[in-house]
């Protein structure tokens, strides 16, 4: 496949449905009744992210991540990951993105993405000595220490802006659910979505890994040249973890909401950097953990 530069890749490149969904034989049991059917499952496949860069005048290549993901939006996932890990900082750092390797498995997928950096992009080579091995269930698995998660160069968010009505937040989960195409068929995916401050859906990505869904979402905005996301709301379908808050801060998202619970470390990080964090957003209610000044219309 030819090298694909970031600007053309800014438009989503959804794969055929067959790459997202697999049909499998299943025995369905209901009491004493058992019968054979087919079930529809979300596809989970590994993705290796390789980085191409120049060091001492020589072109080098290094594998820096292996993650389990739902195929599709691989370029966005790779670039979003590199951004939220602090390896790149803007779309101009990326000279090109391409799939490589031979198609594998019954779906004939290319499970390697190679990201080539521009010749003048500065790199922290000690940072590249680490391998970022992640899984679909937890984005921080395999990282050497909690200190390695520190977001370098990220400053606190501007206080008090934007301000959003509490009524807007109540509408977001239903809007998210209506837009989850693959979840409707499989029930097995996480989702991350960006909204305008009036509740209009901007973009949505799905994946078996909640951190991958957020990386795909941020990567799509990076490649489209729309960072920072200082007037957006991030909604995630599951819980709010430390790593997801970190990714939101890198993209300069001021408000993050989760259908599930946040972790204590997520709340601590959000409060430290001035991010508004909502949890348990469902059924017309939510918990407001920090950044209350951005939420209007709720009785104190």
List residues with catalytic annotation.
Answer: 138
Beta pairing partners, 195: 201, 233
Q: How far apart are CA 228 and CA 250, in angstroms?
A: 9
Tell me whether residue 152 is exposed, middle or buried, using C-beta atoms within 10 angstroms of its C-beta: 0 to 12, 13 to 18, 19 or more. exposed
Instruction: Name the phi and psi angles at 275, rounded to 5.
Output: -95, 135
**Reduced to 3 DSSP states, what percent helix, strand and coil does the chain have, rounded to the nearest 5?**
30, 35, 40
Number of CB atoms found within 10 A of residue 146's CB: 10
Contacts of 296 (CB under 8 A, 6+ apart): 163, 164, 165, 166
- Beta strand 33-42 with 21-30 is antiparallel
Instruction: Name the phi and psi angles at 125, rounded to 5.
Output: -70, -25
Beta pairing partners, 288: 278
| Degrees, nearest 5: CA angle 65-220-187 | 75
Helix (H, G, I), strand (E, B) or coil at 89: coil
- Residue 21 to residues 135, 150, 177, 207: CA-CA distances in angstroms? 19, 36, 18, 11
- The DSSP call for residue 101 is S
């Amino acid at each position: 496949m030819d090298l694909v530069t970031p600007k053309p890749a800014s438009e989503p490149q959804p794969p055929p449905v067959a790459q997202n969904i697999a049909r499998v034989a299943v025995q369905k049991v209901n009491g004493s009744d058992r019968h054979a059917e087919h079930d529809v499952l979300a596809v989970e496949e590994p993705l290796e992210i390789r980085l191409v860069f120049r060091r001492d005048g020589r072109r080098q290549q290094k594998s820096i991540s292996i993650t389990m993901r739902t195929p599709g939006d691989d370029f966005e996932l790779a670039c979003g990951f590199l951004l939220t890990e602090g390896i790149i900082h803007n779309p101009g750092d990326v000279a090109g993105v391409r799939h490589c390797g031979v198609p594998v498995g019954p779906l004939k997928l290319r499970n390697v993405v190679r990201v080539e950096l521009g010749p003048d992009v500065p790199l922290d080579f000690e940072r590249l000595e680490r391998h970022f091995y992640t899984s679909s269930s937890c984005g921080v698995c395999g990282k050497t220490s909690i200190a390695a998660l520190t977001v370098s160069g990220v400053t606190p968010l501007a206080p008090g802006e934007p301000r959003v009505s509490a009524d807007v937040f109540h509408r977001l989960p239903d809007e998210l659910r209506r837009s989850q195409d693959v979840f409707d068929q499989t029930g097995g995916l996480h989702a991350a979505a960006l909204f305008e401050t009036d509740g209009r859906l901007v973009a949505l990505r799905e994946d078996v890994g909640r951190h991958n869904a957020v990386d795909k979402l941020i990567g799509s905005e990076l490649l489209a040249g729309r960072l920072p996301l200082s007037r957006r709301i991030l909604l995630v379908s599951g819980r709010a973890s430390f790593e997801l808050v970190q990714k939101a801060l890198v993209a300069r998202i001021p408000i993050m909401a989760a259908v599930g619970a946040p972790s204590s470390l997520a709340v601590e990080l959000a409060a430290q950097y001035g991010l508004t964090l909502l949890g348990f957003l469902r059924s017309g209610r939510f918990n407001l953990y920090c950044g209350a000044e951005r939420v209007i219309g709720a009785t104190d």
